[in-house]
């Protein structure tokens, strides 16, 4: 169950970043809402055991607005995962990865 919950936390953060920071989405609003409910339920029912990754970020954002709207800074791992996922899903056939990153104000180091 903990691995599943960790996966849901990452999904929540990745899709929050895509939607709230880039204005992009690769899942439906209903799928995103379901992820939020699952993460919030896990937090409520397992508050003292098995802390989830990014616990402080998800606890605050879900408490404030029940979504990722209030997250100001995303962990680098989440940003990287989100950018790669978006590229593979929507842009791979139309531009290079460098051009894609540049479009959103990022670059390879």
Average pLDDT value for the chain: 91
Instruction: With cut-offs at 50, 70 and 90, classify the pLDDT of residue 47.
Output: low
> What pTM does this model have?
0.91
**Lookup result for tokens 């408490």:** 63
Tell me how many domains the chain contains. Answer: 1
- Domain membership of residue 62 (yes or no) is yes
Question: And the tokens for 23?
Answer: 């204005």
Question: And the tokens for 97?
Answer: 């990865």
- Domain membership of residue 108 (yes or no) is no
pLDDT tens-digit readout, 84-98: 999 999 999 999 999
Report yes or no: 86 and 24 within 8 Å, Cβ to Cβ: yes
- Domain membership of residue 50 (yes or no) is yes
Instruction: With cut-offs at 50, 70 and 90, classify the pLDDT of residue 83.
Output: very high
- Domain membership of residue 109 (yes or no) is no
Q: What is the mean pLDDT of residues 64-81?
A: 92
- Domain membership of residue 63 (yes or no) is yes
**Burial of 28 per CB tally in 10 Å (0-12, 13-18, 19+):** exposed
HSE-CB for 6 with a 13 A CA cutoff:
7
């Amino acid at each position: 169950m903990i691995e599943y919950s960790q996966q849901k936390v990452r999904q929540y953060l990745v899709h929050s970043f895509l939607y709230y920071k880039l204005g992009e989405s690769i899942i439906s609003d209903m799928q995103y809402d379901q992820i939020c409910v699952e993460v919030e339920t896990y937090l409520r029912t397992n508050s003292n055991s098995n802390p989830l990754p990014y616990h402080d970020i998800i606890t605050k954002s879900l408490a404030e607005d029940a979504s990722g709207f209030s997250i100001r800074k995303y962990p680098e791992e989440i940003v990287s995962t989100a950018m790669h996922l978006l590229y593979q899903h929507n842009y791979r056939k139309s531009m290079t990865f460098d051009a894609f990153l540049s479009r959103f104000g990022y670059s390879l180091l």
